[in-house]
Amino acid sequence: MGHTTTEQTVHSVYTDRARGLRGDAMGAWDIGHFDNDTAADFGGRVDDAEPEKKADVLRAVLTAAADTAPDEYLDEGEEAVAAAALVAAQCPGGEPITTAYGPKDPVPPLPADLRPLAVRALDRLTGADAEPLDLWAEAGAEKEWLAGIAALRAVLVAAPAE
C-alpha cells in the first residue's frame, strides 16, 4: 500500500526535524496518537512496566509535558499525547486503543486524577513552543492533529471525577 502525500510530508517533516534536534531519524506514518516512532516506543515502555507501575509511567510523561513552562520549548510531546489517549480510553465515550503500535498488554484501571493532568498536558501541547504542533503545522496537517487532541480533551473533561 502506498503512502499519501500527507503521510509522506509528515514523515519527511518529522525525519528532517528529528535529525536536526536529536541526530537520528524519527518517523510518523499517520496522524493517530500512536502512529509515530516515539509514541510506539512509549507503548512498549508501558508494556514493560509492572501492572501496578503503569499509571506511574503515564503520570511521569503527562507531568513533564504539563509542567513545561510556556517560555520553554516542549519536545517529546508525542509520548504525552499517547499517555492522554490511554487515560481517555478508560473514560466514558473514550476510544479504545486498537492500534498495533500501542501497548500490547491491557492497561489496568487508571486513577481518576490522571484525567485533569492529561488535560493540562494536552493544553500545553496545543500552546506555543510545542514540537508536535509545530511539526504537524509544517506537514500541513495541523487542523487534523488538533481535532484529534480536541476529541481526547473533550472525553477527559466530560469524565466524572470518581
Contact in structure between 123 and 161 (CB atoms under 8 Å): no
- Chain segment 110-157, per-residue pLDDT in tens: 999 999 999 999 999 998 888 888 888 888 889 999 999 999 999 999
For residue 124 the three cell numbers come to 500545553
Mean pLDDT in residue range 34-44: 88
pTM to 2 decimal places: 0.82
Do 85 and 34 meet the contact criterion of CB atoms below 8 Å apart? yes
Angle between the N-to-C axes of helices 114-125 and 54-66, in degrees from 0 to 180, rounded to the nearest 10: 40
Mean pLDDT of 94-103: 91
51 DSSP assignment: G
Rounded Cα gap, residues 96 and 86, in angstroms? 8
Indicate whether 50 pLDDT > 70. Answer: yes
